[in-house]
Structure 1
């Protein structure tokens, strides 16, 4: 039976080991010049894997010997029937030079990591919850990245939601208590501040320049304990409209880059070393009987939230473009009666820019500045991308006639800490049911 699908975090482990039993005479072999780094602990990991297989296959092996080697190893020797030989490699570890981000130069994934790992952070929060008069404290973890040298940090709002304390851990081992400066729940972003100077900020890129198929890497803290891990993948889709498990709908970057519990709030980089997204979700089946879903992760395009983040840091409040209307899609039945597709105006706020321009409830907006509007989301995206003071020329259908109205985009001011986080009294209600994950990210 297929289960419904929701956006949430998921942990999946998989392994695939190959074992060979070559002839007893080991030929002389001269290895080629190595091109890839060899991690020091690789040899130990292979030993552990082989020990498991030997135990499972011991009866079938009998008295014959088992030889383990890789084609790139440069050792020779002869083994008797009752002997087991393991050949150790002699390659030296590659040296990775630290590089700085140059927007005009593409880097390898290893270089992106070296250039940015000191700009990424681990975030741990404490959440105090009232259960019928009893207080409990749980921990949750996520990721983030440094925006400025003087300690502003960006993460997801759901990572720090309802937190009573926030701790930030740097790559060098330093930890800081963090203050929540501001957040926008509708865009799932939060700005933190730590008391530090001389930090290494990221370089912010342009997410609009992404193409499907571009390589990307994520640096974060999967499971809350695998700190500063890098995963790599491709951009699978752009502007994917996704409804999250909290019913929030967002247009996100889809990627096959591994994103797991604890990665929330971390940076998604292009191969120029620039942040182009904030990892925040992945697809997962809600039913254990459903097929496994892998490599479908999502990130918030940095361009979508950068104006909000700048407003929080520079002004201390959230400044958003505003025209003062609520809109919906024109349904198919209405289109059968000759009403065009577009954004149907449901209401107009008094004394708003839209009211001053002459917009009325019942109008259908079909284009703005020459750009076709086929539904409400088109209009919302266009207004959201506008600057305060911009002029929008709207083509409007009204009762069989078409006209043009000019709307000047206004400013909507919202407290950066609107709906300031408080815990409900135990006598009012039970816990809201949110869970803290000691070794994972917040959902």
Structure 2
């Protein structure tokens, strides 16, 4: 926004109307993307609306939004910009991934206008981001804009890339709101806000959404691996090799069944040195249930190997992107 307004002040005597040109640019984006914006309403058992969010059409019959917007609810209503409403009976499939907070809603109908997707590699810090969504009070779409930034926030999950940020004031019901660049290409969707930073929204990048869609289309969900241990890292950060101390083993987990004990120090994974804490979680998470992995363990000076069979990770609600949980 600053980059657009500054010339107006610097060249105030000019006949050029820079604010007018900015408005025209925003209007062009809205004309292009608005037909693809949807409102998502979740009703309780009595049909009363509990919450509302936004979504965006990314293919002729597929809507992208956040898992937190939809949740485990099955009573959904999708409202299109032409006023048409689609109830649960008109939804073919709802696929949610709790870990990355991404949800895809496949419709039984097709032919909806879809948006163009941006190239994540071309998203620049400081570039314009235009959020186009719905609220309880907006007639049509609600528009906000600000500058795009990159954050360090992101999980150790292999599908979860670092989040983008949007420096803009958004409403409390902004979940799932699509964010576009100045060409009307989809950059990502709003996940939420940073606590204490009302003007800063977190954006799930479109590249993450695409990776999750490719994975989730196979089974309707992403099957992540799990062995059931809590770990503490050992070794200085400047060393090229890390070791992991098992602080807790979950009962009846793969690690428990293989005889791994609290206090064991894991010094190798499948025969390889551990050089980064996230690589272990990512490797196990990407492993399909039934995959065999080997730990080289130091137990009070005794070195030996344990083979574990990866199982499907349990859904741990409330622990999204939390590194202090079991692997």
Q: Shorter-chain TM-score: what band? A: 0.5 to 0.7
Work out whether 1:198 is the aligned partner of 2:101: no
Mapped partners of 1:118, 1:156: distance in 2: 19
Q: Could you list the per-position Cα deviations for residues 390-426 of structure 1 after superposition, in whole angstroms to 9, with x for gaps in the alignment?
A: x999996745799999999x89599xxx99xxxxxxx
Gaps of 5+ in 2: 1-12, 317-327
Task: Report the count of equivalent residues.
Answer: 288
Q: Could you list the per-position Cα deviations for residues 140-164 of structure 1 after superposition, in whole angstroms to 9, with x for gaps in the alignment?
A: 2110011221x22121222223545
Counterpart for residue 42 of structure 2:
125
Aligned residue among 131, 138, 150 for 1:225: 138
Aligned residue among 266, 270, 293 for 1:364: 266
The structure number with the bigger radius of gyration is: 1
Q: Compare relative contact order (CA 8 Å, sep 6+) and give the higher one, 1 or 2.
A: 1
1:239-258 aligned at under 5 Å gives the runs: 239-240=152-153, 252-258=163-169
Work out whether 1:330 is the aligned partner of 2:313: no
Mapped partners of 1:233, 1:382: distance in 2: 37
Q: Could you list the per-position Cα deviations for residues 1-56 of structure 1 after superposition, in whole angstroms to 9, with x for gaps in the alignment?
A: xxxxxxxxxxxxxxxxxxxxxxxxxxxxx9824344389xxxxxxxxxxxxxxxxx
**Larger displacement relative to structure 2 (343-352 or 322-331):** 343-352
Aligned residue among 264, 281, 294 for 1:380: 281
Mapped partners of 1:387, 1:212: distance in 2: 34
Aligned residue among 164, 181, 189 for 2:102: 189
Please report how far the alpha carbon of residue 210 of structure 1 lies from its aligned counterpart in structure 2 after TM superposition: 4.3
Counterpart for residue 146 of structure 1:
57
Q: Could you list the per-position Cα deviations for residues 121-153 of structure 1 after superposition, in whole angstroms to 9, with x for gaps in the alignment?
A: 11122123xxxxxx683432110011221x221
Counterpart for residue 317 of structure 1:
220
CA-atom RMSD in angstroms: 4.9
Shift of the 395–315 alpha-carbon distance from structure 1 to 2, 3 Å rule, reads closer
Work out whether 1:278 is the aligned partner of 2:180: no
Work out whether 1:166 is the aligned partner of 2:76: yes
User: For the Cα contact (< 8 Å) 2:260–2:306, is it kept in 1?
Assistant: no
Shift of the 195–136 alpha-carbon distance from structure 1 to 2, 3 Å rule, reads closer
Shift of the 315–367 alpha-carbon distance from structure 1 to 2, 3 Å rule, reads closer
User: For the Cα contact (< 8 Å) 1:276–1:302, is it kept in 2?
Assistant: yes
Please report how far the alpha carbon of residue 195 of structure 1 lies from its aligned counterpart in structure 2 after TM superposition: 3.2
Counterpart for residue 8 of structure 2:
none
Mapped partners of 1:360, 1:204: distance in 2: 46
Mapped partners of 2:40, 2:305: distance in 1: 50
Please report how far the alpha carbon of residue 316 of structure 1 lies from its aligned counterpart in structure 2 after TM superposition: 4.2
Mapped partners of 2:56, 2:37: distance in 1: 4
TM-score by length of 1: 0.50
Gaps of 5+ in 1: 1-29, 40-93, 97-107, 129-134, 243-248, 286-292, 420-443
Please report how far the alpha carbon of residue 181 of structure 1 lies from its aligned counterpart in structure 2 after TM superposition: 1.9
Mapped partners of 2:21, 2:122: distance in 1: 34
1:401-412 aligned at under 5 Å gives the runs: 412=312
Q: Could you list the per-position Cα deviations for residues 327-369 of structure 1 after superposition, in whole angstroms to 9, with x for gaps in the alignment?
A: 43326xx87xx9x6455455599997x99xx995634368898
TM-score by length of 2: 0.65
